[in-house]
Structure 1
Amino acid sequence: MIYTVTFNPALDYIVRVRQLNIGEINRAEYGEIMAGGKGVNVSLVLNNLGHESTALGFAAGFTGEKLIEDLKKKGCQCDFILLNQGMTRINVKIKGQEETEINGEGPEITPTALRSLMMRLEHLKEGDILVLSGSIPGTLPEDMYERVILRQQGKKVKIVVDATKNLLKDTLKYHPFLVKPNHHELGELFGVEISNREEAIFYAEKLQQMGAENVLVSMAGEGAVLLDVCGERHMSPAPTGQPVNSVGAGDSMVAGFLAGYMETGDYEQAFRMGVAAGSASAFSEYLATREEILEVLSRTFK
C-alpha cells in the first residue's frame, strides 16, 4: 500500500481571469474548488492511474469536511486526523496571463493530533511506500520528517520525500528510496543555478552521495533526469504540449514514477511514466487522467 502524508493540506480555489488588474474589481471566467496539497495530489493521480493509496494528514472545520468529501467523491481513500480548532486552509490559484497564488495558513496541530498520526503510521509494513510531501506548518517541529522516518526504520518501508531545503537535506542520511526536487530546489541546496540536464545530473549525484537511493529532478521546459540506485542515468526532454497549469505537475511526476515502478519494477519505465504524468498535468486544467498520461507517454517514448 502507498501512504501519502500532507501535513498542511488545502482546498484549492482555482479561478481564471482574462487579465488580473491589481486594485480593481476582476471578473472570473471560471472557478472551481477542489482538494489540494502535495501528498493529496500524489494520491489523486495514483488513483487516476488505478493504484490504491491512503491519504493521511490533518483536517479541520468546514473546509476540512469539504476536503475529505472531495477526495471520497474522486474514489480516493483517506484517513485524516480531525482537529477540533481552526480550519483547513484555502489556497487561491489565480490563472490569468500569468499564474498567481495566495496560500492560506493552516490550523494548529496539537501534540495529541500528532500522536494520532504517528499511531496510524505504526501499521506500515515491509513493502509499503510512504510519501512525505510539502511544507511543515509552523506549529510542528522542523525535524518532523526525520521523526516520521525514524519510526519506520527497520521495517523496510520505502520512503519518498518531495520537500525543499533542510526538510529534504536532513532526510538523506536515512537513505530514502526516492527524492524529487525540481532544478530550482536542487540548485538552492548547493547555492548554484542549474540550467541544463547535465548540471542537474552532477548535483543529483551529490544527493546520492549524501544517501538518497533514487534522485528524480523535474526541470519544467528542460525535461527531467533520474539517477537510479543501480547507477544508471536517465534523461528526457520535455514532452511537447501547451502548459496551462503548474499546480500538481511535480506531484504527478512522483505518482507516475511510483505507478510505473510498481507495475514494472524497472526504473527506466518508472521514469518515463513520471515524465508523462508530470507533463500531462501541466497540459491539463487539473490533475491528469490516466488517458491523458498514457497519451503523452505513447507519443513521447516511442
Structure 2
Amino acid sequence: MIYTLTLNPAIDYFLAFDSFVEGNLNTPRETYKLPGGKGINVSKILKNFSTDSICLGFIGGFTGDFIKSTLENDGLETKFFNVKEDTRINIKINNNGLESEIAGTSPSISKENLDELFYFLKNNLKSGDILALSGSVPASIPTSIYADIIDAIPKDVKVILDTRGLPFEIALKKGVFLIKPNQDEINEFFHSNFSTNEELIEAGKKLQTMGAENVLISLGAKGSIFITKNEIFISGVPKGNLISSNGSGDSMIGGFIYGLNKNLSLDKCYELGIASGSATAFSKGLATFETMENLLKEIKINKL
C-alpha cells in the first residue's frame, strides 16, 4: 500500500487578478478552493493515475471537514486525526502571472494526536509499502517527527522524504529511499550557492552519504538531475505554457511513486515524474493521466 502523510494540510484558496493593487479594493477575475498539502497532492496525482493510496494527516474544524469530504467525494481513501483547532487556509494570488502566497497559521497538534498517528503507523504499515513524508512541520510538533516515524515503521518501507530544514536533516540520517530537494533547498542545506550541474551533482552525492539512497534534484524550468546508487541522469523539461507551478513538485513525486508501484526501472520512474510535474505546471489543477502521458514522448533523459 502507498501512504502519504501531510502534517500541515490547508485549504488552498486561489485568486487570479488582472491587476492587483496593494492598498486598494481588488476584485479577482477567478477564484477556487482546493484541499492543499504536499502529501495530499501526491495522493491526488496517484488517484488521477488510477492508483490507490491512503492520505494521513491532521485536520480540524470546518476547514478540515471541507478537506476530508472533498477528498472522499473524489474517491480518495483518508485516515485523518482530528485536532481541536481549525485547519489553516492558504491564500495563493496570481497577479497577471506573478505568483504570491500567504501561509495560514497551523493548528496545535497534541501529544494525544501524535500518539494516534504512531499507533496507526505501527499497526498498519508493512514491509514493501511506500510512505511519502511531505511538507512542513507545524511548530507544535517536534522537529524529529519524520525521523521518529522512520524509526517506528518496518525498515524496508520505501520512505520518500520531501521537506526542508531541521526535520529534513534529522530524518535523512535515518536513511530514506528518495529525497527531492530543489536547487534553493540544496543551497539552503549546505549554506552554499551551487549553480552548475557539476556542483549540484556533487551535493547530491554528498546527500547520499548522509542517508539518501536516491536523490532527485528539481531545477524548475532548467530541468532536473536524478542520482541513483550507480547512475546519474539529467533531463530538461518538455515545452508548454506555464499556468501555475503550484503542486508541480508534488506531482513529480506522485509520478515517480506511480512507476515505483508498478516495479518499473528507476529511470522510467524518473521519466514519469518529469512528465507528471510538467503536466501539472501546464494545467489548471493537477495533472491527469492523459496530460502526463501526452508529454512522455517529449522527454529526453541523458545518462552521464
Q: Which bracket does the TM-score occupy, shorter chain normalised?
A: over 0.9
Aligned to 1:267: 266
Aligned to 1:162: 162
What does residue range 1-302 of structure 1 map to in structure 2 within 5 Å?
1-83=1-83, 85-97=84-96, 98-122=98-122, 123-154=124-155, 156-229=156-229, 231-301=230-300
Q: How far is the alpha carbon of 1:201 from its aligned partner? A: 1.4
Q: How far is the alpha carbon of 1:152 from its aligned partner? A: 1.3
> d(CA) in 1 for partners of 2:192 and 2:46?
33
Q: Deviations over 1:219-257 (max 9, x none)?
A: 10110111113x110110122111111111110011111
Q: How far is the alpha carbon of 1:200 from its aligned partner? A: 1.9
> d(CA) in 1 for partners of 2:199 and 2:294?
29
Q: How far is the alpha carbon of 1:301 from its aligned partner? A: 4.2
Give the conservation status (yes or no) of the 8 Å contact 1:196–1:222.
Answer: no
> d(CA) in 2 for partners of 1:6 and 1:237?
29
Aligned CA-pair RMSD? 1.3
Q: How far is the alpha carbon of 1:189 from its aligned partner? A: 1.0
Q: Deviations over 1:102-131 (max 9, x none)?
A: 110121111111111111111100010111
Letter in 1 for 2:178: L
Give the conservation status (yes or no) of the 8 Å contact 1:132–1:161.
Answer: yes
Q: How far is the alpha carbon of 1:179 from its aligned partner? A: 0.6
SS of 1:46's equivalent in the other structure is: helix
Aligned length: 299
> d(CA) in 2 for partners of 1:74 and 1:195?
41
Letter in 1 for 2:227: L
Give the conservation status (yes or no) of the 8 Å contact 1:20–1:26.
Answer: yes
Give the conservation status (yes or no) of the 8 Å contact 2:127–2:154.
Answer: no
Segments of 4+ in structure 1 off by > 6 A? none
> d(CA) in 1 for partners of 2:197 and 2:49?
28
> d(CA) in 2 for partners of 1:264 and 1:177?
14
> d(CA) in 2 for partners of 1:242 and 1:193?
29
> d(CA) in 2 for partners of 1:243 and 1:199?
27
Q: How far is the alpha carbon of 1:153 from its aligned partner? A: 4.5
Give the conservation status (yes or no) of the 8 Å contact 1:260–1:269.
Answer: yes
Give the conservation status (yes or no) of the 8 Å contact 2:235–2:299.
Answer: no
Q: How far is the alpha carbon of 1:268 from its aligned partner? A: 0.6
Q: How far is the alpha carbon of 1:262 from its aligned partner? A: 2.0
Give the conservation status (yes or no) of the 8 Å contact 2:252–2:276.
Answer: yes
Q: How far is the alpha carbon of 1:299 from its aligned partner? A: 2.5
Give the conservation status (yes or no) of the 8 Å contact 1:15–1:32.
Answer: yes
> d(CA) in 2 for partners of 1:121 and 1:189?
29
> d(CA) in 2 for partners of 1:187 and 1:263?
33
The change in CA–CA distance for 1:56 and 1:177 in structure 2 (over 3 A counts) is same
SS of 1:195's equivalent in the other structure is: coil
Normalised by the size of structure 2, how large is the TM-score? 0.95
> d(CA) in 2 for partners of 1:290 and 1:89?
30
Give the conservation status (yes or no) of the 8 Å contact 1:6–1:39.
Answer: yes
> d(CA) in 1 for partners of 2:91 and 2:99?
10
> d(CA) in 1 for partners of 2:196 and 2:51?
33
